[in-house]
Amino acid sequence: MEKKSIPSIFGSLVFDDRVMRARLSQKVYNSLRKTIDENEDLDEKIASAVASEMRDWAIENGATHFTHWFQPLTGVTAEKHDSFITPSPDGGVIMEFSGKELIKGEPDASSFPSGGLRATFEARGYTAWDPTSYAFIKDHTLCIPTAFCSYAGDALDKKTPLLRSMQALNKQAKRILKLFGTEVKNVRTSVGPEQEYFLIDEAMFKKRPDLVYTGRTLFGAMPPKGQELDDHYFGAIKPSVISFMEDLNEELWKLGILVKTEHNEVAPAQHELAPIYSTTNVATDNNQLTMEIMQKVARKHGLACLLHEKPFAGVNGSGKHNNWSMATDTGVNLLSPGDTPHENAQFLLFLCAVIQAVDDYQDLLRLAVATAGNDHRLGANEAPPAIISVFLGDELTGILEAIKNDTPYHGTEKVTMKLGVHSLPKFSRDTTDRNRTSPFAFTGNKFEFRSLGSSNSIACCNIMLNAAVAESLRQYADILEKADDFDSVLHDLIKDTIKKHERILFNGNGYGEDWIKEATEVRGLSNLKTTADAMPHLLDKKNMDMLISHKVFTETELHSRCEIMLENYCKTVNIEGHTMVDMVRKNYLPAIEGYLFTLAKATSYMQSVSDHVKCSYEVSTMERLSELTDSIFASCIALEESLKKLQDAGNIIRTSEAVRDDVLPKMEALRSFVDEAEMLMPESCWPFPSYGKLLFSVY
Ligand code: ADP
Ligand code: MG
């Protein structure tokens, strides 16, 4: 069959601007556009008109059902399908979809985590259409992107605070732009998330209970080859992976997702996919969809797509890079250095706003990426450390230094920088990138936050980032709006900000031991190593004050989120612990015992035949395996006891500390004995596929 061209399939399953323009009346279209572009409330009559066209379009494209598609705090997306059918008097059915059904849904939400926000007896929350993210068709169902709230109006999802944080930033950024003489309709943040993942053989995936239950391997000795040859990164892509990628791209293009880049990553069986950036809430929806479709397409190809942050010990885990910038509706990127002194001053102020935001709210950025899975990566020399710092590159750092010290910048032009008067010296963008050890790097016209885990929703970190930058901008606007001599107040503001926040700037090697010492002991930066350490800071007064003042969260929402995230951490590790116990008792110990018996029998048979048989392999293997069996058994019991104790730890903070200090180390110990035993056992007697098989059998 002839392949269809990309432009002809792109967005074919999306009720996008092209479809709206073609199908809606001018009046309805204009009104909807105003809602999308300027956040104006939507008239109910307009909603009905949109709903009826949406239904017709969806049915023409094969849909039978509709759903409000939302992002509860579980981290995955949720949907509850309703068919369009309504009985007609003649005994048949007609296909109906009203404006009300488009705008508002009422899923029975009692089983979603709410952190005590909504007692289960008052189970109903409601979903509300987010018209700024286009509706689409998936599995014969019209999916309407929505926000999810309780009846009291508390957000029960990740999208609501994300939209609020975008509003907060929009409001403050417009105040600043106005001071520079620019009036715009809105300022939006854009994100391009680079997504890493593993692809392994599905049949082998199914044979590993750890992968099935937890998404990561809890046992496994290293194969002879790992990633040491660096031969996988950007290597030729294997045919079955290419065929998966082709299929995936097509599915994502149909959904209007701008997938652009694909390549092999560092670890064997690891790959990356990146779309072209888009507005943050759309990018978030698209990334959630991408993760879902990746797993679905993989299954069609006999593969399993692993999105866990650390599916395999000993090789790199997977992250997600959050490329972030702010732009006006007129197309100006506020993080792009300009050509005139005026534009440069504006750029520097927005740059300072980000630097200050990252310094003031390091802990919020850190906890926004904290999960049980991501704890395995951060600080393990494969991903940025848990310490948050900003990389600017030598040239931009030099410029800031010159401003701070009123000294000439020794770039191409040697001038003392007086902002608003002098042009910024030109610096080449290419030199700003490629410090892969920095968690937060300026890459020419955007910042790249690299600490996210591969399975994280990008909503979490962008909520915090947008809110924190909105707060810097608010402070600047308060000062600048009162200024008599704008240029000189601006100059001092930038200078002061650099002085005050330069401790967060670091261009060196973030993996080095010296950095940890310098960052924590000299600079006083925070080093929150685990989720249990990081998450409680959500409730620090300075953080709550900021998030509440910008109306990103309410106090109740913050308490509930902290609880849910910690609960999620504890439950995740609890499941992992129980999975380990299960595998040890049901499979590993019986397998080793069986082999011990074989060795013992063989030794005794052989020695009964001849006195000259030494049986050194049999005896020494038997002795070591028998010791290991004892150790495995003892550590399994110890782990079981620790897991049991979790139930009585009291509150969630203490439970999470017990997980960190007691359960995880016990899991580590148990694993080490099993992995050693694996190296002594014949492959035919080992109950699960080895790392070698898992990592190297896709062609
Ligand atoms: P790499 O980091 O691998 O060199 P790029 O930096 O070119 O790749 O792009 C990575 C991601 O950053 C892509 O998703 C791209 O669309 C996105 N990106 C590029 N410019 C911006 C921007 N101004 N704002 C947000 N994301 C951007
Ligand atoms: Mg990048």
* Ligand 2 centroid to residue 645 C-alpha, Å: 43
Per-residue three-class SS string for 135-193: CEEECCEEEEEEEEEECCCCECECHHHHHHHHHHHHHHHHHHHHHCCCCCCCEEEEEEE
Rounded to the nearest integer, the mean pLDDT of the chain is 92
Determine if ligand 1 sits within 6 Å of the CB of residue 316. no
Can you give the pLDDT at residue 414? Answer: 45
- Considering every ligand atom shown, identify the ligand nearest to the alpha carbon of residue 234 and give its number: 1
> Which ligand 1 atom lies nearest to the CA of residue 275?
14
Average pLDDT for 130-150: 93
Can you give the pLDDT at residue 105? Answer: 87
| Contact of 398 with 410, CB cutoff 8 Å | yes
What digits encode the pLDDT tens for the residues 360-404? 999 999 999 999 999 999 977 888 899 999 999 888 898 899 889
Q: Using CA atoms, how far apart are residues 647 and 15, in angstroms rounded to an integer?
A: 48
> Whose C-alpha lies nearest to ligand 1, atom 11?
192
Per the listing, tokens 């039978």 go with 64
Of 197, 177, 199, the closest CA to residue 188 belongs to 177
> Whose C-alpha lies nearest to ligand 1, atom 24?
325
Determine if ligand 1 sits within 6 Å of the CB of residue 276. yes
Per the listing, tokens 């004995």 go with 673
User: 698 vs 267, 298, 486, CA distance in Å?
Assistant: 13, 12, 62
Q: Give start-end residues of each CATH 1.20.120.1560 domain in the chain.
A: 568-696
Tokens of 582: 């299960």
Q: Is the pLDDT of residue 447 over 80?
A: yes
Report the chain's terminal Cα–Cα distance, integer Å.
24
Determine if ligand 1 sits within 6 Å of the CB of residue 275. yes
Mutate to test the pocket of ligand 1, among 234, 446, 469 (most ligand atoms within 8 A of CB): 446
Determine if ligand 1 sits within 6 Å of the CB of residue 434. no
Q: Is the pLDDT of residue 160 over 50?
A: yes
DSSP element (H, E) containing 623: helix 616-646
Q: How many CB atoms lie within 10 A of CB 613?
A: 14
Q: Is the pLDDT of residue 415 over 50?
A: no
Q: How many helices (H) and strands (E) does the chain have?
A: 24, 19
Of 613, 361, 622, the closest CA to residue 475 belongs to 361
* Ligand 2 centroid to residue 528 C-alpha, Å: 24
* Ligand 2 centroid to residue 498 C-alpha, Å: 25
SS3 of residue 415 by DSSP: strand
The full length of the chain comes to 699
Return the percent helix, strand and coil in the chain, to nearest 5: 50, 15, 35
* Ligand 2 centroid to residue 475 C-alpha, Å: 30
- Considering every ligand atom shown, identify the ligand nearest to the alpha carbon of residue 283 and give its number: 1
Average pLDDT for 214-234: 90
Q: Using CA atoms, how far apart are residues 235 and 225, in angstroms rounded to an integer?
A: 16
Of 79, 90, 482, 480, the closest CA to residue 292 belongs to 79
Q: Give start-end residues of each CATH 3.10.20.70 domain in the chain.
A: 6-157
Tokens of 55: 């239904």
Residue 233 CB burial class (10 angstroms; 0-12, 13-18, ≥19): middle
Determine if ligand 1 sits within 6 Å of the CB of residue 325. yes
Torsion sign, CA atoms 214, 219, 225, 227: positive
According to CATH, the superfamily of the domain at 166-553 is Glutamine synthetase/guanido kinase, catalytic domain (3.30.590.10)
> Whose C-alpha lies nearest to ligand 1, atom 17?
192
* Ligand 1 centroid to residue 444 C-alpha, Å: 10
Mutate to test the pocket of ligand 1, among 187, 277, 320, 445 (most ligand atoms within 8 A of CB): 277
* Ligand 1 centroid to residue 447 C-alpha, Å: 9
Determine if ligand 1 sits within 6 Å of the CB of residue 217. no
Q: Is the pLDDT of residue 176 over 50?
A: yes
Average pLDDT for 419-438: 60
Determine if ligand 1 sits within 6 Å of the CB of residue 334. no
Q: Which residues contact 535 (CB under 8 A, 6 or more apart)?
A: 367, 370, 562, 565, 566, 569, 656
Can you give the pLDDT at residue 419? Answer: 55
Average pLDDT for 671-695: 97
Of 157, 4, 115, 63, the closest CA to residue 571 belongs to 115
> Which ligand 1 atom lies nearest to the CA of residue 277?
16
Q: Is the pLDDT of residue 652 over 90?
A: yes
Determine if ligand 1 sits within 6 Å of the CB of residue 277. yes
Determine if ligand 1 sits within 6 Å of the CB of residue 527. no
| Angle CA 355–371–456, to nearest 5 | 75
The residue type of 534 is A
Given the DSSP bridges, would you call strands 319-328 and 414-416 parallel, antiparallel or unpaired? unpaired
> Which ligand 1 atom lies nearest to the CA of residue 333?
23
Residue 227 binned pLDDT confidence (cut-offs 50, 70, 90): confident
| Contact of 404 with 495, CB cutoff 8 Å | yes
| Contact of 687 with 208, CB cutoff 8 Å | no
Q: Give start-end residues of each CATH 3.30.590.10 domain in the chain.
A: 166-553
Can you give the pLDDT at residue 1? Answer: 53
Determine if ligand 1 sits within 6 Å of the CB of residue 190. yes
Partners of residue 145 on adjacent β-strands? 69
Q: Using CA atoms, how far apart are residues 274 and 285, in angstroms rounded to an integer?
A: 14
> Which ligand 1 atom lies nearest to the CA of residue 443?
6
* Ligand 2 centroid to residue 435 C-alpha, Å: 11
Tokens of 399: 């410029």
Q: Using CA atoms, how far apart are residues 597 and 460, in angstroms rounded to an integer?
A: 53
Can you give the pLDDT at residue 140? Answer: 96
Residue 34 CB burial class (10 angstroms; 0-12, 13-18, ≥19): middle
> Whose C-alpha lies nearest to ligand 1, atom 16?
276
* Ligand 2 centroid to residue 370 C-alpha, Å: 21
What digits encode the pLDDT tens for the residues 572-610? 999 999 999 999 999 999 999 999 999 999 999 999 999
* Ligand 1 centroid to residue 450 C-alpha, Å: 12
Determine if ligand 1 sits within 6 Å of the CB of residue 195. no
Determine if ligand 1 sits within 6 Å of the CB of residue 253. no
Can you give the pLDDT at residue 151? Answer: 80
Can you give the pLDDT at residue 117? Answer: 66
Q: Using CA atoms, how far apart are residues 511 and 407, in angstroms rounded to an integer?
A: 32
Determine if ligand 1 sits within 6 Å of the CB of residue 320. no
Q: Is the pLDDT of residue 67 over 70?
A: yes
Q: CATH: 3.40.50.300, 3.40.50.1010, 3.40.50.720, 3.10.20.70. Which one for 6-157?
A: 3.10.20.70
Average pLDDT for 176-196: 96
Higher pLDDT pick, 133 / 411? 133
Q: Is the pLDDT of residue 627 over 70?
A: yes
Q: Using CA atoms, how far apart are residues 389 and 503, in angstroms rounded to an integer?
A: 8
Determine if ligand 1 sits within 6 Å of the CB of residue 333. yes
What digits encode the pLDDT tens for the residues 51-63? 999 999 999 999 9
* Ligand 2 centroid to residue 167 C-alpha, Å: 26
- Considering every ligand atom shown, identify the ligand nearest to the alpha carbon of residue 327 and give its number: 1
SS3 of residue 270 by DSSP: strand
- Considering every ligand atom shown, identify the ligand nearest to the alpha carbon of residue 274 and give its number: 1
Can you give the pLDDT at residue 121? Answer: 46
Determine if ligand 1 sits within 6 Å of the CB of residue 310. no
- Considering every ligand atom shown, identify the ligand nearest to the alpha carbon of residue 324 and give its number: 1
CATH 1.20.120.1560 fits domain 568-696? yes
| Contact of 159 with 70, CB cutoff 8 Å | yes
| Contact of 315 with 325, CB cutoff 8 Å | no
Higher pLDDT pick, 341 / 412? 341
Per the listing, tokens 């909503």 go with 459
- Percent of the chain past pLDDT 70, that is, above it, reads 94
What digits encode the pLDDT tens for the residues 103-128? 988 876 667 777 766 554 455 688 99
> Which ligand 1 atom lies nearest to the CA of residue 445?
23
> Which ligand 1 atom lies nearest to the CA of residue 335?
23
Q: How many CB atoms lie within 10 A of CB 397?
A: 19
Q: Torsion over CA of 323, 329, 335 and 341, rounded to 10 degrees?
A: 170
* Ligand 1 centroid to residue 279 C-alpha, Å: 13
Tokens of 98: 């009203």
Tokens of 642: 């620790």
> Which ligand 1 atom lies nearest to the CA of residue 327?
23
Average pLDDT for 270-295: 96
Average pLDDT for 551-580: 96
Q: Is the pLDDT of residue 423 over 60?
A: no
